[in-house]
Structure 1
């Protein structure tokens, strides 16, 4: 029996629902095993971020409930080909989790792929991994990228800089996953 290559997906409560489910299903459709890691192994409450006419920023609604497969403390980065950092509000608190920062830094040290979409960039900035890189993310997180020495690109839905692929929002999925799968096939 052959073993499928694994992709680690990092999120938590208030992670973006569509980004989580799309990633899980898209990786599995392509023959990879997706493993969702969170602060603990539990049923998480995801959220839906969308834009409402007349609002200056996005709105948030309750999303799907999703089970995490493992806790961050159980992650062995050697088991994975790549890591994906999801958006939503989860990165706000996950960027303060020392284990998450260690995990992402290990992927970088081991020269593995690091994928980030929307607010997932907040974890990369907290890990000190954006300096000198060209990236994109949700436009209102651009300040963090630039303050940490990265170059923000706002005109592209997705950007690749070496082993890093970043996307702006769930609306970037087509461009983002084209780049992700080019990396994984290469």
Structure 2
């Protein structure tokens, strides 16, 4: 079974983070959570309320962290997941994150992004020429990063699987698990 690195931080969306962690573990894989430090993360819940133009944010559960970004050895993992929420905005500025993310893209290893998660590979030019889903208001950002934005729940581009947000997680999860398990056969 695969060891899958999950890059997160405070204000990562709770469902975007917990759903893949539990689904990977249910599938017999090891999900390892990495963040700027090893203290427990404070997740948030994003919801869509009547009368609001944007989503709302409420405090969520905490999530135990296994590794600090600086201690990650990407060669010890077979796949990467980047959940959404506000965490991608700032984790992409951590000096350790670029080399970690590049490792997976350069080797064609499975990468899953959810909601705002594509902001991380976009920051490093890794979406250029690729198809990706993302939270729909990020369409222009994805296009400026050189990607083709696809408004769908389970966009598969080679070994990368993306979705628009937590409502898409069942479809995203099925697609990501297929890519992950297919990669395990060829590794």
TM-score band, normalised by shorter chain: over 0.9
Question: In structure 1, the residue corresponding to 2:168 is in which secondary structure?
Answer: helix
- Tell me by how many angstroms 1:5 deviates: 2.0
Question: In structure 1, the residue corresponding to 2:116 is in which secondary structure?
Answer: helix
- Tell me the distance in 2 between the aligned counterparts of 1:179 and 1:134: 15
Which of 8, 11, 28 is matched with 1:31 structurally? 28
Give the aligned partner of residue 157 of structure 1: 153
Give the number of the structure with larger relative contact order, counting CA–CA contacts within 8 Å between residues 6 or more apart: 2
Give the aligned partner of residue 51 of structure 1: 48
Give the aligned partner of residue 90 of structure 1: 87
- Tell me the distance in 2 between the aligned counterparts of 1:5 and 1:80: 7
The alignment covers a number of residue pairs equal to 182
> What is the aligned-residue RMSD (CA, Å)?
0.9
Give the aligned partner of residue 42 of structure 1: 39
5+ residue gaps, structure 1, are none
Which of 3, 11, 15 is matched with 2:12 structurally? 15
Give the aligned partner of residue 109 of structure 2: 112
The aligned runs of 1:75-86 (5 Å cut-off) are: 75-86=72-83
Which of 3, 8, 29 is matched with 1:6 structurally? 3
Give the aligned partner of residue 185 of structure 2: none
User: TM-score scaled to structure 1, two decimals?
Assistant: 0.95
User: TM-score scaled to structure 2, two decimals?
Assistant: 0.95
Structure 2 residue 175 is the aligned partner of structure 1 residue 173: no
Q: Does structure 1 retain, via aligned residues, the 8 Å contact 2:2–2:79?
A: no
- Tell me by how many angstroms 1:36 deviates: 0.3
Give the aligned partner of residue 119 of structure 2: 122
- Tell me by how many angstroms 1:117 deviates: 0.5
- Tell me the distance in 2 between the aligned counterparts of 1:5 and 1:42: 25
5+ residue gaps, structure 2, are 183-187
- Tell me the distance in 1 between the aligned counterparts of 2:141 and 2:95: 19
- Tell me the distance in 2 between the aligned counterparts of 1:172 and 1:70: 28
